[in-house]
Amino acid sequence: KYFNNGDLEFYDAVNFMKGGLIYADYISTVSKTYAKEIQYEYFGEHLDGLLRSRQDTLFGIVNGIDYDVYNPSKDKNLYEGYDVTTLDRKADNKVLLQKDLGLPISRRMPMVAMVTRLVAAKGLDLVVRMMDEILQHEDIQFVLLGTGDKAYEDWFKGLAWRFPTKVSANIYFSNQLAQRIYAASDIFLMPSNYEPCGIGQLIALRYGSVPVVRETGGLKDTIIPYDKYTKQGNGFRFADYNAHEMMYALKRALSAYENYEEWKQIVENAMNSDYSWKESAREYKALYEKLTGSEA
């Protein structure tokens, strides 16, 4: 019955997701931008037409992180705890990570980091295209942690071989090292091709590592471009999935880093951003109350 009436039929096969979308009272996903993106063919996985027809009952509520777990002042994985009022201790974390990873020790050397799965969706093609050029022309350190497709693993190993004093490629996963990288790094790179919400940028904000992200999904919703005139914003963004745009966004961040007071303002804005579950829980509660007809 439900196949023949079209509710489950999907290109001569059965799609229970389609059925769920049709019969749900409300539909929610993990960011407002992603809720819009999935109404278009590129992101919609052939369900974009159905999602467009349900747009009045489609909601995007961004994920949060546990601020008790992700707390740089209490995180036992870090070399040294810190908060927004003790940013010198963040630099201490950088020095100790540089020592452990065998990189030249410098408190003022900008450290760019990625903690990621090594898969195409994370925008690694852009990194592969531009990172050699960036490292040749910029005085930076680049630290990577993650595993994934062998081609990317091998490429990052090669990058570390070509730039042994600038690159640390850690092709494994360690929660302790991940937390230390968030704490030590100055800039957190997330050039994702798509990212429904993203957790990495939220952790980075909490630890004062300024995100450089592509404008997609939750990255667009949570990272506000810094404006040096209003002193508002918590990171840097680029719009198109383009390697040169990524490079220019990263260079904007590096340029801001050269101005100590300006960079301190951006880091403070990042750490004062609130992406705990508090606001997201309030939105979910309101949605469920609307669903049950129990709104206040």
pLDDT of 74 above 90: yes
What value does the mean pLDDT take over residues 15-19? Answer: 97
pLDDT of 291 above 90: yes
pLDDT of 150 above 60: yes
Choosing among 3.40.50.2000, 3.40.190.10, 1.10.490.10, 3.30.70.360, the CATH entry for 87-272 is 3.40.50.2000
pLDDT in tens, 21-31: 999 999 999 99
Q: Report how far residue 145's alpha carbon sits from residue 173's, in angstroms, rounded to the nearest whole number.
A: 7
Write b or e for each residue in 168-177: b if 16 or more Cβ atoms lie within 10 A of its Cβ, otherwise e. bbbbeeeeeb
pLDDT in tens, 173-218: 999 999 999 999 999 999 999 999 999 999 999 999 999 999 999 9
Residue 294 pLDDT = 79
The residue ranges of every structural domain in the chain are 9-60, 87-272
pLDDT in tens, 219-269: 999 999 999 999 999 999 999 999 999 999 999 999 999 999 999 999 999
pLDDT of 296 above 80: no
Report CA 209 to chain centroid distance, whole Å.
Answer: 11
Q: Report how far residue 158's alpha carbon sits from residue 154's, in angstroms, rounded to the nearest whole number.
A: 6
Q: Which residue has the tokens 């062998």?
A: 150
